[in-house]
Structure formats: C-alpha cells, structure tokens
Amino acid sequence: MSNEKKSRKPLVAGNWKMHHGGLSGVELAGAVARLAREVPHVELVIAPPYTALAAAAHECDAEAAGGRGDVRVAIAGQNMHASHTGAFTGEISSAMLKDSGCTWVILGHSERRQHFGETDAAVAAKTTAAFKQGLVPIVCVGETLAEREAGHTLEVVKRQLDAVLPVLHAHVATAAAIAYEPVWAIGTGKHAGPAEAEEVHAAIRGWLAATSATLAAQTRILYGGSVKGDNAAGLLGCPNIDGALVGGASLDAVSFGAIARAADALASS
C-alpha cells in the first residue's frame, strides 16, 4: 500500500436510509459502537434516520465512555437543507443535525438526486452550509446505468464533482469525503468490479489533484454500491479507494462488521 494511501484512515459509513428509526436504531448504534473497539484502524460513521439521530449519538457516546474514548462511532445526517433556519416544513437544518449529535452529513446521494430532484447546484449549496456548521460532508457522485452504457461515466462524475470542488478546496483543512456510487450498483446486488471502480476513483483523485495536491492527498474517496463482506477487501484494496459507503449491509451489525473488519485487516497489514 502506498504511503499516501496509508495516511488516509479508512472510513466505513453506514447509510441506514429509511430503516431503524426507533429503538432498533438505538440497539444497532450500540452494536456498531461495540464493533468499533475491534476495528481500531477504521473510522466508523453511521447515518440513522432523523428520528434516531440523537438517541444513536447518545448510545455511541455511552459506549465510547465505557471503552477507549478514541473509538467513538460518528453520526451523520442523510441529508439536510441548505438554509440555517426558516419556513421549510418537514426539512432539517445543519444546526439541527449538529444539535442531534452529528459531525458528518451525506449530501447528494443518488436517491436524493433521482427522487427529490437535487441538482448539482443544490448539492454545492448544502456542502457550503455543512462546512459553515462544522459538519463534514460525504458528497456522493455517480452515473446511472444509461449514462455508463452511453460511455458518459467520467463526464457525469466530473460534472458532479466540479460543482463542489471550489467548496471542498476552500475547506481543504476539514478533509471531507467523496463517495463514488454508481447508481446501477446501489441496492441491486451488482457492484462495480475493483478495476471498474478504481478507474473512476483514480480519475476523481486526478481532478482533485488538478485543484490542489493537499486536497487530493487528504480527501477520502469511498466506494458505494452493494458493498458486502465478501467483496469489500477487493474494492478497499485498490489504490484510490479509501473506504465504503454502505447501504443494505449496514442494517445489521454482523454484515457491517464484516466490511469494517476487511477494512481494518487491510489497514493494519
């Protein structure tokens, strides 16, 4: 493994989507917090639904206090509004995520782009708002199947990245993350092969480097799309893949644990 890759601690983030919003979420957060003690070379983040954020954060704090303080699982929002406050019924602000114990936020997930019409400009505005509030963004990019089949993968990903690059550059010290998530691989059981994923990750690293060498060196680029325990090592072993954004397999501690353990084994070898 290159020294530059080694300098980026692997990040494994679980996006629970619209699952585990109550007591089961608190239990899962506790199980992930206990798992964290077994994978010290990996940073773990969980993104519960809004209704479980504060309780999950409390659970992770309690587990961290009972063990080694440096293995606290971080909490992420799955989305947020770009405004700090206002008449936006049903929305949640960066300040509210912060108040609920979040230190991270997932932005521009393909389900937000596809089903809720989020544009590149909206994702950029949210990214700015997240940094302003002290939340670290995981900005998602990725092409649809039609875009891949038409040979437009790199063009689409570059367009999505270009929208947020100036914001990421302005906040280079915060070391945000980017998640490359091919839309055709999300929740489908099909994942990009390591070579296919690495091609896009290397391109993203190159575009970051064209903006700033520090930005390229510090930004963790996660892969997302049907990551499971049995394919995690192949993906995470690639030179430019620094972790995973996990949907389905993050919904129980055993399958999430298998991915985290694969990342830990690679990072400690």
d(CA 80, CA 100): 13
Residue 222: exposed, middle, or buried by beta-carbon count in 10 A (0-12, 13-18, 19+)? buried
247 binds ligand PEP (CB under 6 A): yes
Q: Least separation, in Å, of the C-beta of 66 and ligand PEP?
A: 30
118 part of the active site: no
CA dist., res. 225 & res. 110, Å (int): 11
Which residue of the set 43, 111, 181, 198 is catalytic? 181
Q: Which stretch binds ligand PEP (CB under 6 A): 46-54, 57-65, 83-91, 218-226?
A: 218-226
Is residue 4 part of the annotated active site? The answer reads no
End-to-end CA distance of the chain: 9
Residues numbered 163 to 192 that lie near ligand PEP (CB under 6 A) are: 181, 186-187
Interface pick for ligand PEP out of 79, 226, 231, 240 (rule CB under 6 A): 226
Q: Closer to ligand PEP by CB, 180 or 207: give it.
A: 180
227 makes contact with ligand PEP (CB under 6 A): yes
Residue closer to ligand PEP, measured from CB, 71 or 140: 140
Q: Please state the closest distance from residue 20 (CB atom) to ligand PEP, in A.
A: 14
- Cβ partners under 8 Å of residue 154, min gap 6: 200, 203
For helices 23-36 and 253-268, the axis angle rounded to 10 degrees is: 20
Smallest gap from Cβ 112 to ligand PEP, in A, equals: 10
From the list 208, 245, 253, 260, which residue makes contact with ligand PEP (rule: CB under 6 A)? 245
Hey, which residues does 138 pair with through a beta bridge?
106, 177
Residue 213, classed as helix, strand or coil, is helix
Region binding ligand PEP by CB under 6 A among candidate stretches 34-42, 146-154, 243-251, 261-269: 243-251
Binding to ligand PEP by residue 194, rule CB under 6 A? no
Between 22 and 187, whose beta carbon lies closer to ligand PEP? 187
Choose, from 109, 171, 191, 201, the residue flagged as catalytic. 109
Kind plus residue range of the DSSP H or E element containing 141: strand 136-141
Nearest approach, Cβ of residue 187 and ligand PEP (Å): 4
Interface positions with ligand PEP (CB under 6 A) = 15, 181, 186-187, 224-227, 245-249
